[in-house]
Structures are given as C-alpha cells and as structure tokens.
C-alpha cells in the first residue's frame, strides 16, 4: 500500500478533477506483477494500468489500491468489473470512494467471489486527495479564504486604495496557491471596485494553460466589460447571497472541489458566519494604516471570550528585505465559549 500511495503521487499528476490513485498487483508469493497510477482525467485508471502491465499474471493476484475501484462507467469503464474479468483473487483498499456515483465497487467484487478488505493506511490515502474527498463527503467544495492585511488588520486604506497591501513576492506566491484550486470566487462588490482578472499566472506573469473557474457571487447586475467576463477563463455568475447555496451549486452543477475565495469583508463575514471557511491563508504586510477597510466585516462578536478561534498550521516568510510578508495558514476552530 505504501508503494501504491507513492506512485499515486507521481510528479506531474494533476490534483483534479479526478482523484490521484495508485494500484499494485501482487502474485501469491508476494512479488509485484504489475502497478499503475491514474494520470488525470481521460487516462486509464490505476487498476487498468496495473492489469495491463501484469497481463495473464493478474489471475489469482491481490490488487492493493489506494481508493476503492470505481463502479460506474464514465470516460472509462468500471474498474471493479475489470478486476473481476482479470480473475483477481483479492482486493485490499485504503479509502472507500465517497463519490455516490462511483462507489460500491467493493460490494460488486465481493458478490463476484473476490475477497475484499478496506481501511489500510486510510488517512494516508485521504491525504492524497483532501479537497476531492471533502467535497464528496460534504456535498460542497473545500473553501480556502485568502486575504492580505496590514499589521493592524486593514485590507485597504481609508480612501479605498488597496493596491498593493501585499508585496510582489506575496502576490506571486498567491498564484501558486490559486493553481491548486479549481475555482476562484469573489463578490459583486469586489468586481465593481477592484475589477480583478482572477486568472492564474506563472512567475513570468504569463497565464497558465489551464485556468480555474471564475465565480462571481451576488444578485446585482454587473458591467459585462469587467475583466472577469473576458475569454481568458470560464466565468459563472451565481445570483445568490447564500454561501452554502452557492457552494452546493458549484459542487452539484459544476463538479467543483476546491474554492479559492478572495471576497471582500462583507462576503467573508457571511462565509464565516455560515461556517463554510475550511482554511485561511493571509499575507501580513509590515505596515500600519490606523484606519481603513477591515479584512472582515462584523461577526456579531461582542466579547473576547466569544472570539472565533483559529489554529495556525504554517508560518512562512515570503520575500526578503522590504518586500517580505508573512504568510499565515490557519484552520478555523470553534467560537470561544461554545
């Protein structure tokens, strides 16, 4: 299973939209007769690659797979059926498939007489595809909220200027994080005021060939000439103020698993109050404003004992000298006293 996990995470394998999966086939004496991993949407699944490598040696073998073999026909046929037809004797799985469309492979194989087990190194398997697993289990995408702030918690000056609170190295670092997500989301006010492009660019400021879905959330009409509506990437306007409704739609209607949320303070407060912020990434600039727009709007918290607690999971200095910012990565916890 450790080998299956290793090859599943081979360099160059995309993080989505499909999960990363590895498979190792073992003969009865424990020797490896085939292995394979999924290389991205449209490519053969890990089990099929391993079966192809093993050929006739797959009959009577044990398949060790990081994710339950799929039980549906998509771009490829069901892997559960491929293992049955190959004559595999036993299948050991780390993680059950949380996707209700694809799950059920273990039951299908057991009904065909294959010995099945699951749960081996399941936490390691989940770590391969955290956002994908989360989205299928929760019915909504994982949400990373990113914002830049001064030391005194301001995202813009009193006159509304906000470019640039973060330093050039921090902005380049943001594009690295954007590229890990399949969706970028802002509110209508951010589109009106800042006119963001919301594309992902490389260190040379060139757009990447594959772009996340751009999403605008809010009920008001917007100027179609805003940069977010150009042809650099697909854009969806979700006409709702309800964060959970928007996220559910992104999962159900658009197949999205990881949202990079860059909304302003009002929308950020709405997401926090709805309990749908799963990760916080903030770039703290070594500057003071004393007044201006806060990073987040009112949260109905009136005493320190009720503060929303966050756990720091990473602290990194991005850039050097006068361009240095501190990047904090945090996991939201519960409100104090709850």
Q: Is 269 annotated among the ligand-binding residues?
A: yes
Q: Is 140 annotated among the ligand-binding residues?
A: no
Q: Is 148 annotated among the ligand-binding residues?
A: yes
The 3-state DSSP composition of the chain as helix, strand, coil percent (nearest 5) reads 30, 25, 45
Q: Is 232 annotated among the ligand-binding residues?
A: no
Q: Of 35, 47, 49, 68, which one is the catalytic site residue?
A: 47
Task: Indicate if 47 belongs to the active site.
Answer: yes
Q: Which two tokens stand for residue 80?
A: 């559960």
Q: Is 201 annotated among the ligand-binding residues?
A: yes
Q: Is 226 annotated among the ligand-binding residues?
A: no
| Beta carbons within 8 Å of 64's beta carbon, 6+ residues apart | 1, 3, 4, 23, 24, 25, 26, 92
Q: Is 118 annotated among the ligand-binding residues?
A: no
Q: Which is nearest to 314 in space by CA: 295, 327, 333?
A: 327
Beta strands in 151-265 (DSSP E): 154-156, 183-187, 213-217, 235-238, 258-261
Q: Is 137 annotated among the ligand-binding residues?
A: no
Q: Is 162 annotated among the ligand-binding residues?
A: yes
Helix 243-254 crosses helix 265-274 at what angle (to 10 degrees)?
A: 80
Q: Is 132 annotated among the ligand-binding residues?
A: no
φ/ψ bin of 218: left (φ > 0), alpha (ψ from -120 to 50), beta (otherwise): left
C-alpha angle 99-137-22 in degrees, rounded to nearest 5: 55
Residues in binding site: 45, 70, 79, 148, 162, 164, 178, 190, 194, 198, 201, 262, 264-270
- The residues assigned a catalytic role are 47
Residues in binding site for Zn(2+): 45, 70, 79
Residues in binding site for substrate: 162, 178, 198, 201, 262
Residues in binding site for NADP(+): 148, 164, 190, 194, 264-270
């Amino acid at each position: 299973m450790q080998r299956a996990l290793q090859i599943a995470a081979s360099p160059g394998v995309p993080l989505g939209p499909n999960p990363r999966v590895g498979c190792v086939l073992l003969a009865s004496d424990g020797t490896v007769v085939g292995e394979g991993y999924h290389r991205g949407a449209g490519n053969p699944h890990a089990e099929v690659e391993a079966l192809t490598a093993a050929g006739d040696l797959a009959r009577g073998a044990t398949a060790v797979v990081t994710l339950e073999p799929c039980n549906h026909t998509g771009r490829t046929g069901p892997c559960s059926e491929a293992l049955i037809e190959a004559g595999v004797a036993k299948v050991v799985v780390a993680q059950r498939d949380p996707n209700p469309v694809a799950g059920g492979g273990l039951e299908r194989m057991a009904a065909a007489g294959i010995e099945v087990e699951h749960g081996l190194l399941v936490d390691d398997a989940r770590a391969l595809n955290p956002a994908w697993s989360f989205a299928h289990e929760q019915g909504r995408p994982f949400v990373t909220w990113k914002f830049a702030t001064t030391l005194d918690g301001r995202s813009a000056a009193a006159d509304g200027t906000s470019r640039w609170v973060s330093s050039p190295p921090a902005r380049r670092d943001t594009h690295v994080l954007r590229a890990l997500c399949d969706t970028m989301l802002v509110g209508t006010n951010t589109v009106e005021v800042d006119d963001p492009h919301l594309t992902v660019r490389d260190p040379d400021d060139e757009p990447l060939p594959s772009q996340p879905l751009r999403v605008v959330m809010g009920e008001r009409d917007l100027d179609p000439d805003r940069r977010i509506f150009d042809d650099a990437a697909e854009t969806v306007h979700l006409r709702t103020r309800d964060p959970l409704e928007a996220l559910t739609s992104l999962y159900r209607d658009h197949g999205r698993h990881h949202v990079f949320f860059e909304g302003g303070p009002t929308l950020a407060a709405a997401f926090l109050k709805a309990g749908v912020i799963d990760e916080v990434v903030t770039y703290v600039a070594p500057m003071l404003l004393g007044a201006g727009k806060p990073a987040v709007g009112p949260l109905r918290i009136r005493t320190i004992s009720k503060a929303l607690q966050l756990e720091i999971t990473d602290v990194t200095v991005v850039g050097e000298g006068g361009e240095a910012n501190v990047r904090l990565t945090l996991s939201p916890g519960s409100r104090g006293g709850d």
